[in-house]
């Protein structure tokens, strides 16, 4: 695949605070790449530097082999769709899409052809004469995308464009955006804080935190092979425990020795162990590798979300099997369900579900998580969930 954008050693500060810290990233032709992370991680600043709306303090932006740091936005072969679509209320759908072509004095016949082609692509044929103010949020978004694509950019930047839509429409538009990207072959760079959105749409996911890239990979790799506790916690639910790698494919955690599939760690190396809630099997207590008592059960339609206390560590289990509160159960974990990570600066910040609640969901700030960690036992650190 051809490399279309290179970010080299990008650093950016606002008012003395570093928001991007030595970012290096390669983006390829015909790729759907998502910048994913919590608020304040630097993902939108990265997008704005690519678009030319911000300038890096240090580092270079390379576009098709040429340095474009000083090239203004309107001269870059890049278009942007923002959260607010910025449509012209006094123009109909056709004229909104045609606007950038009229600005470039494209011949009338070509404008007609290209606008109609774009409206067909975004499933708005027949809407040409409609007022944009009469359209639904999803339809307005399609107009904004058509307007951004009609100029045939090499890259389309999308800054959380689905944020204002309701859940069902948001899911529908996720699929539509992916179809549009494949149909046009244009590189999409998408910004979101929504993990499900990133996993369902992207070829490549770039997970960011505190102005740094934590991991780059396919959605499957990011979910199944997180590189540190932040990524494991941010991408879906995770039980994260302290462990010791005894030798290749053999790890000790939660008072038990397990077979696993990981290797390459030093003998007796302290590690973080990740077990996803859906990868744990509930068995009779006497058959369990681990044994505990159920402290809560929540029905979520397709499965139950169960919290199990095992020696003071609260596990989350997602299962279709019903168990009752206060029931004693066993847990069985296959070797393939155990993922081993090196210790990192995020070790101990995330882990069990001792205080899994809406209040903890709303904390969101790393400083508050660290403050809570000082007041709890090591096994309970990271009860708060980062947003």
Q: Which is nearest to 172 in space by CA: 144, 139, 134, 194?
A: 139
- Averages of pLDDT over runs of 10 residues in the chain (387 residues) are 95 96 97 96 96 96 96 92 83 94 93 94 92 89 91 92 80 87 94 93 96 97 95 94 97 96 96 97 96 96 95 96 96 97 93 58 40 41 36
For the chain, the straight-line distance linking the first and the last C-alpha, in angstroms and rounded, comes to 34
115-120: long-range contacts, CB 8 A cutoff, minimum separation 24: 115/146, 115/150, 118/146, 118/147, 118/149, 118/150, 119/93, 119/94, 119/146
In contact, 311 and 352? CB cutoff 8 Å: no
Predicted local distance difference test score (pLDDT) of residue 119: 93
Report the DSSP beta bridge partners of residue 283: 330
pTM reported for the whole predicted model: 0.85
């Amino acid at each position: 695949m051809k490399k279309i954008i290179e970010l080299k050693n990008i650093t950016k500060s606002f008012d003395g605070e570093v928001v991007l810290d030595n970012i290096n990233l390669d983006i390829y032709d015909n790729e759907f790449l998502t910048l994913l992370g919590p608020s304040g991680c630097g993902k939108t600043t990265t997008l704005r530097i690519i678009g030319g709306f911000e300038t890096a303090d240090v580092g270079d932006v390379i576009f098709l082999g040429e340095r474009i740091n000083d090239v203004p936005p309107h001269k870059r072969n890049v278009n942007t769709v923002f959260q607010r679509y910025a449509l012209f209320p006094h123009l109909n759908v056709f004229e909104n899409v045609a606007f950038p072509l009229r600005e470039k004095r494209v011949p009338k016949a070509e404008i007609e052809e290209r606008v109609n082609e774009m409206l067909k692509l975004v499933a708005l044929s027949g809407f040409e004469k409609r007022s944009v103010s009469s359209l639904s949020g999803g339809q307005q978004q399609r107009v904004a995308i058509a307007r951004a694509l009609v100029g045939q950019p090499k890259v389309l930047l999308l800054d959380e464009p689905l944020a204002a839509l309701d859940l069902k429409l948001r899911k529908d538009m996720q699929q539509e955006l992916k179809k549009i990207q494949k149909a046009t072959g244009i590189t999409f760079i998408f910004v979101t804080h929504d993990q499900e959105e990133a996993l369902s749409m992207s070829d490549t996911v770039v997970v960011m935190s505190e102005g740094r890239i934590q991991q780059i990979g396919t959605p499957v790799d990011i979910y199944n092979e997180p590189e540190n506790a932040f990524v494991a916690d941010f991408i879906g639910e995770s039980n994260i425990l302290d462990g010791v790698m005894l030798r290749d494919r053999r790890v000790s955690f939660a008072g038990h020795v397990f077979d696993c599939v990981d290797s390459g760690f030093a003998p007796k190396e302290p590690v973080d162990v990740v077990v996803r809630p859906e990868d744990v099997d509930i068995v009779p207590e006497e058959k369990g590798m681990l044994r505990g008592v159920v402290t809560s059960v929540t029905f979520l339609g397709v499965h139950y979300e169960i919290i199990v206390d095992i020696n003071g560590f609260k596990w989350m289990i997602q299962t279709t099997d019903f168990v009752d509160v206060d029931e004693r159960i066993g847990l069985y974990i296959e070797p393939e369900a155990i993922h081993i990570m090196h210790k990192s600066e995020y070790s101990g910040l995330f882990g069990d579900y001792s205080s899994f609640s809406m209040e903890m969901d709303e904390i969101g700030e790393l400083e508050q998580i660290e403050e809570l960690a000082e007041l709890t036992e090591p096994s309970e650190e990271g009860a708060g969930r980062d947003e």
